[in-house]
Structures are given as C-alpha cells and as structure tokens.
C-alpha cells in the first residue's frame, strides 16, 4: 500500500433535480443522530448565492426534533456537494507509478471483484473483511451486511458504530431486552423534573438539542451534568460534577448507595417491574460516599445533593453519551446508571427513564440491519437458529450457509494483514478514528488489497488500491433512524456528478461480478421493501413502515418497533414512540438489575505517565473530519488540533497558552498547541480527535476493549506532557 493520492478529476457541480415539495426538498442533515430536519432549495429561488451544487439550506420548522434550528455543520452541509472538494471519478493504484490514477467504473469494479475473489480463493472467505459506517442509510447497511454474508460468505464484518454507543446498547439490552437510543421522544426531556446528563456536551456535539435543556430549566426542572470538563453544556447546569475520567462507574454506584441509605427507592416498582435487585443493591452498598469521593474527586456534599434531587423528583431521567460509554468497562458503567433509574422507578413511566444519546448520523439504524459482527436484520442475533432461518428465507439461501459472528471493529482492524488479507470499506475513516491509530494505519497498509467507497478522499482512502466515489445525502434517497428510533426518509434533491455512483450500485456491480446477479437491487425503495420483510418479527421491526407512509407523515417519521398489519390491511401499527409503558422487552416482561462494581481503567496513571487524557469533539468539526475539514467556514472556526491544559498543570510544566507541546502515551506521540483553561481538571488533559497527522489524538488512545460491547477505551489513557 502507498499513501500517495492525487485529487480526483474535476467536474462541474451538478444541477438540482426536481423537488417533491415545490422548490424545496424536505430532507435531513447528514451529520449527527439528531437528523435535524431541513430543506434544500434552489439557490436563486432561496435568495442565496450560488450555493454548492446549486442549492442552499432553508429552515424546516415543522420537524419536531430541531424545530428548524441548525448548527454550523448543518447549514454548511451543501459545501461538500461541490466537485471541488469531493470525489467525482474512480481511482486505481498504478502498478507502474504506485500512484492513484483516474479510471473508468468497469475497470475499478473489476479490480475490486478480482481482489476479493483472489483472496477468497487463496485463503478462504474469512480472509475477506468488510468495514461499514454509522452514516450509511438503512438500505446501504442492510445491503452491505447481506453482501458480506451471502456473496463473500465472510463473518468478518463490523462497522465504526462499534466506537459510538455499543456499551449503552449492550447495557440496554441486558437490562431492558432491547437497544434503542432513546425509548421516548427527545421532547420529553424538556418536561422531566430532573435530568442527569453523563458525559455529553450537547452544546457542541448536538447544538439544536440544547433547546430541550433550556426548556427543562424554564419549566422548573433540574439539570445535572457529569463531565470532567466545564463545557458549554456544563455551564448551563444547576449542578456540575467533574469526576476523574474513568470513574463514572463508581459515581453511579455511590449515588445508588445514597438513594438506598436515604430511603429513596421505589419498592413497589422494584417488586412489580424488575428482578435482580438484591444483588445489585448489595454491590452498590459497598460504594459508600467517602470511598466514592476518593475515587472520583467529587465531594460528598455534591453526591448527596444529586442523589436527593434525583430521588425526590416526580419525573427524572439519566442520559448517557460517549463519556461513560467509551471505556473498557462501559457496559457496566451504563448498567450502573440504569440501576439507579430502576431503583427509583423511572424506566417505563412518563417523562422518566434512561436513554443514550446516539452520536453518528445513522448510528441507530446502522447497527439494526446487519453490518454489525453479531447481528442480522431486525436486530436479530446471528447465533439464533430461528433468526438465521427467517433472514435466510428472505434472502433465498440455506441458513447453514450464513457464517457465524465475526470480530468486533477494533479486533477486525487489528487482524488486517494477518488473518484478513483484503478489505472492502464503506463510509469510514479508521486511520483517524480508530484507537491506537498509528498501529491501525500500519495494519491497513499491510493488506494485500484495499477498496474504499467514500464521498471524499479520506486519509484511509488515500491508502487504497481502488477508490470508488459514491453519492451522498442530498444526491440519493434512503432512510435513516435517529437517536429516538424515529425512521425518516431522506430524499434526493440534486443529481450526483456523472462519475459518481451510489453504494447500492457498487454492491450490485460487485455482486454480479462475483456470481450473484440477483438479490442486490439498486433502487433504495426496493431494498427497503426487502428490509421490511427481513426485519419482520425482530426486535427492530420495520415491517409496518413504507416509503409511502414516510412521505405521508409529513416528515415526522415513524418510531420502531412498527410491526406490519399482516393479512389485515385495515390495521396500521402507529409505531412506538415510548417503550416499556406496559412491559419490558424481556421474556418475562421484567427489567433486569445487573450487579456491577467499580474497577480501575485499563491504564492508570503512574510516575512516567502522570496525566489522564480524554478525547472528544468540538462544535465546528465532526468525527474524523473527513467532510467538515473540507468546509472553509468550519475550518475557520476550528482550524486544527490542540490540548486543553489546566493552569496549574501548565505552570508546573512552564507551558504558556498557545505554546506547542508534545503529548506522549505508551502508543505514540503527538505535537499540538496548548490551550490553557480552568475548565478542565488539573490531573486531566483533553484533545479533540478530528485531525490526522502530527495532531492525531487517536495516536495516543488505548485499544483495551469492554468484555461485553467490545468498545475501545477512547476516554481514558495515561499520558505525559513535554515541552516541544
């Protein structure tokens, strides 16, 4: 593999296609899991300038999640449609020069099919890997999983959503029998009485959602934020707890201890709607307040105040995000917060409960329909014989031909060049986003063959043997599922450049070349119809949802589970905005307490690496930055990496604000400017992870995995700072 990669061939920006709603196409933002509603209008008709691809963003106030509000990323999303910043034709690696050079589609697809076929013939099906993305539509995620298992016959498929909320998914499934980010509409947050927001900086990661927190406080509710940094979100809180990174598990257990000690549990709810309480209570009672203060650094009076407010509120919620989840004990950590909710009688009651703020654009739907290593469409388990039989029947294959579960995302990346010789990658940039990123980059370079399908020439695409340019959000129709479990139709508004094809066309072309001429349609609605049948009866049942229904609902979407009507065409399921009102999704309908105890992070500080590094996002960039770093307005707001350092730590190191420093872990060294701020703990530094190169935060991060979710420990590792 080589890292040389020229710009893609230039092409004129495409013109807008006909709009289904007059001159404005209703659609959704391509970035985070809010999937904010917005419209795309022809630039001239909107009174704007030229606009990328001839369209500009207009507000769509009717969509309930954001009410028309958009962050800078959403407003500038059309900029990435421009041919000046995106791929407009296939590229193949020249055997003569080692460079990526323009090629035709037939040659490019032939090269990919040949590379995968040669690997499979020489080493077996599991030597072919497939790596997907949490931004793929439901139709793409479904087709990619089917392609891996039916065409390649490989078990080696996973996706970057494993790095998003897999710990919360595992904990939710363990406790409630189902994984849906929010089991209630986001609007319920504004009407609860007490909200504990754990490890989420909504003001920068999901700005339009901040209005729900504002309304919560205006309604007299209490906002409690748990974060080692005093973020813009924490500044809005009534109470801000700043625990040491990696100690959220002890914090939740300490709060439950206090709730029990002060008589704040709901004994009737526990008796009637849960099981396993005695063991969970005993585990929590071992975490007395003074012990928790020593672990977390959160003073006992703060712990008591939070426990009192949460237990006494008529309605209360806990929402977690990447802070507690991206740890090698993330499943247990989220489980401890769920236990707190169950003990106080919250889940399944109006305006109360536990939820997870899913991060990626289709992080929810992306894992429901088959691109995750252990799942089949409908959130079915790959090890369940009945699930295998159902999906195999839809696919027209023998259930025994389906491979078993494969490696999780990091384990798959770590196996590249070893057991896994070739990789088809769609919509992900692990060279920047994966933990221990320098190691992952070397594993990718060691592959026999790499094909990347993406919108832009990402850092990972630059290493590929073949790069396939694919359509993006405004150039294609497809469904996504937001953090509430709301299935939405994102409609095509512009024509893609001539040299660009959809991911569905790519998979169809590859499947045909590999002996599967049928079963991989290119029309999204046709794929969705098959997805409906495959998901029917599963945990994530979409069978009662159709494109026609999503058009008729005026863009509000339909919440899954939404079973089909079966033979009774007169009955239409309304969808399920609120889960657990009558029972939980377990066999006996009861929620499960799971006993958990605090344990240290995988890598604790010591004399050589005395500081904790935690990572996260900034307002103007998104994930690996592959798209947002190509938008001038966003780059002006957030031009490059940095490390936040507390003034006391900066003084000890004799580091001034803006001075370049080296941050060193056991896995690597990065060099970035210091940003001296009192908003972070003195024993902790923070780095955003959006940039490649010398400032790549994930060069430093630890790949230790949660034993249940296989989530890497992005949020905690030991580092030292050096003057550069």
Domain range annotation of the chain: 91-163+362-559, 166-356, 611-723
Mean pLDDT over residues 285-291, rounded? 97
**Percentage of the chain with pLDDT > 90?**
92
The whole-angstrom separation of Cα 15 and Cα 256 is: 58
Torsion angle, alpha carbons of 654, 660, 664, 670, to 10: 180
**Which pLDDT score, from 0 to 100, does residue 566 have?**
63
Residue 478's nearest CA partner among 467, 469, 487, 465 is 487
pLDDT tens-place string over residues 428-459:
999 999 999 999 999 999 999 999 999 999 99
Residue 567: per-residue pLDDT: 52
The per-residue pLDDT of the chain, averaged, comes to 94
Per-residue pLDDT band for 105 (boundaries 50, 70, 90) equals: very high
**pLDDT tens-digit series, residues 345-380:** 999 999 999 999 988 889 899 989 999 999 999 999
Residues 403-428 have pLDDT tens digits of 999 999 999 999 999 999 999 999 99
Q: What is the per-residue pLDDT across 106-147, written as a single tens digit (0 to 9) for each? A: 999 999 999 999 999 999 999 999 999 999 999 999 999 999
Q: Give me the DSSP letters along 609-645.
A: S-EEEEEE--TT--TT-TTGGG-HHHHHHS-S--EEE
Select from 3.30.420.480, 3.40.30.10, 3.30.70.141, 3.40.228.10 the CATH code of 166-356: 3.40.228.10
CB 112 within 8 A of CB 501: no
Mean pLDDT of 666-686: 98
Alpha-carbon separation of residue 565 from 115, 159, 574, 650 (angstroms): 44, 32, 11, 64
∠ at Cα 354 (348, 356), nearest 5°?
130
Classify domain 611-723 at the CATH topology level: Barwin-like endoglucanases (2.40.40)
Q: What is the pTM of this model?
A: 0.94
Q: Report residue 244 as tokens.
A: 């040491």
Query: Is the model's pLDDT at 191 over the cut of 90?
Result: yes
* Local confidence band at 44 (pLDDT 50, 70, 90 cut-offs): low
Q: How confident is the model at residue 8 (pLDDT cuts 50, 70, 90)?
A: very low
pLDDT tens, residue by residue, 510-527:
999 999 999 999 999 999
Contact indicator for 37, 63 with CB cutoff of 8 Å: yes
Lowest mean pLDDT among 171-180, 222-231, 547-556: 547-556
| Structure confidence at residue 51 as a pLDDT band (50, 70, 90) | low
Residues 66-95: tens digit of each pLDDT: 999 999 999 999 999 999 999 999 999 999
Considering the domain 91-163+362-559, what is its CATH architecture?
3-Layer(aba) Sandwich (3.40)
Whole-number Å distance between alpha carbons of 84 and 69: 28
State the average pLDDT over residues 465-481. 97
DSSP state of 565: -
Confidence band for 626, pLDDT divided at 50, 70 and 90 = very high
Tell whether the model's pLDDT for residue 12 goes beyond 80: no
The β-bridge relationship of strands 643-645 and 591-592 is unpaired
Q: Looking at residues 13-20, what average pLDDT do you find?
A: 40
């Amino acid at each position: 593999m080589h890292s040389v990669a020229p710009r893609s061939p230039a092409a004129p920006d495409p013109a807008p296609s006909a709009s289904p709603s007059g001159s404005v196409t209703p659609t959704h933002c391509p970035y985070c899991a809010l999937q904010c509603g917005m419209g795309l209008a022809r630039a001239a008709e909107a009174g704007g300038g030229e606009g990328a691809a001839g369209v500009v963003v207009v507000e769509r106030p009717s969509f309930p999640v954001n009410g028309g509000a958009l962050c800078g990323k959403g407003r500038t999303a059309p900029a990435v449609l421009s041919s000046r910043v995106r791929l407009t034709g296939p590229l193949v690696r020249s055997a003569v020069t080692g460079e990526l050079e323009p090629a035709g589609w037939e040659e490019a697809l032939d090269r990919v099919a040949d590379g995968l076929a040669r690997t499979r013939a020489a080493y077996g099906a599991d030597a072919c890997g497939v790596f997907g993305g949490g931004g793929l539509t439901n139709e793409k995620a479904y087709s990619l999983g089917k392609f891996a298992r039916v065409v390649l016959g490989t078990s080696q498929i996973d996706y970057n959503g494993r790095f998003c909320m897999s710990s919360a998914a595992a904990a939710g499934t363990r406790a409630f029998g189902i994984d849906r980010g929010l089991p209630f509409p986001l609007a319920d947050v504004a009407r609860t009485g007490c909200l504990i927001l754990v490890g989420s900086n909504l003001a920068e990661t999901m700005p339009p959602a901040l209005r729900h927190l504002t309304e919560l406080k205006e309604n007299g509710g209490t906002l409690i934020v748990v974060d080692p940094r005093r973020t813009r979100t924490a500044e809005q809180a009534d109470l801000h707890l700043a625990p040491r990174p990696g100690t959220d598990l002890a914090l939740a257990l300490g709060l439950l201890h206090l709730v029990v000690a002060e008589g704040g549990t709901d004994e009737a709810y526990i008796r009637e709607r849960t099981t396993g309480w005695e063991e969970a209570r005993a585990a929590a009672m071992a975490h007395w307040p003074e012990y928790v203060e020593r672990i977390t650094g959160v003073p006992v009076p703060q712990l008591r105040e939070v426990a009192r407010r949460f237990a006494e509120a008529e309605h209360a919620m806990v929402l977690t995000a990447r802070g507690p989840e991206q740890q090698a004990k993330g499943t247990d950590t989220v489980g401890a917060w769920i236990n707190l909710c169950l003990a106080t009688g919250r889940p399944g009651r109006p305006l109360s409960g536990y939820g997870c703020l899913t991060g990626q654009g289709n992080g929810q739907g992306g894992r429901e329909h088959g691109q995750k290593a252990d799942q089949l469409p409908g959130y079915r388990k790959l090890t369940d014989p009945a699930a295998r039989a159902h999906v195999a029947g839809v696919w027209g294959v023998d259930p025994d031909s389906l491979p078993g579960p494969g490696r999780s995302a990091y384990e798959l990346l770590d196996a590249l060049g070893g057991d896994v010789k070739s990789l088809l990658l769609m919509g992900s940039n692990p060279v920047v986003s994966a933990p221990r990123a320098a190691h992952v980059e070397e594993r990718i370079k060691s592959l026999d063959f790499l094909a990347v399908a993406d919108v832009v020439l990402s850092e990972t695409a630059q290493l590929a043997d073949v790069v396939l340019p694919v359509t993006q959000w405004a150039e294609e129709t497809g469904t996504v599922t937001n953090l509430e479990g709301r299935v939405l139709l994102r409609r095509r508004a512009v024509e893609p450049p001539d040299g660009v094809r959809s991911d569905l066309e790519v998979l169809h072309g590859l499947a045909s070349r590999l002996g599967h001429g049928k079963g991989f349609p290119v029309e999204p609605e046709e794929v969705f119809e098959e997805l409906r049948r495959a998901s029917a009866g599963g945990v994530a049942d979409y069978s009662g949802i159709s494109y026609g229904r999503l058009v008729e609902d005026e863009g509000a979407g339909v919440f899954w589970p939404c079973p089909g009507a079966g033979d009774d065409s007169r009955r239409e399921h309304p969808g399920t905005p609120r889960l657990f009102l009558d029972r939980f999704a377990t066999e006996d309908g009861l929620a499960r307490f799971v006993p958990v105890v605090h344990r240290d992070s995988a890598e604790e500080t010591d004399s050589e690496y005395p500081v904790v590094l935690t990572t996260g996002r900034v307002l103007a960039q998104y994930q690996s930055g592959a798209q947002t770093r190509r938008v001038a307005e966003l780059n002006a707001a957030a031009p490059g990496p940095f490390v936040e350092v507390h003034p006391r730590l900066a003084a000890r190191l004799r580091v001034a604000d803006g001075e370049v420093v080296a941050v060193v872990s056991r896995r690597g060294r990065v060099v970035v400017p210091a940003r001296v701020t009192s908003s972070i703990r003195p024993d902790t530094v923070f780095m955003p992870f959006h940039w490649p190169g010398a400032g790549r935060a994930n060069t430093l991060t630890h790949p230790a995995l949660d034993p249940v979710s296989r989530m890497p420990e992005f949020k905690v590792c030991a580092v030292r700072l050096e003057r550069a």
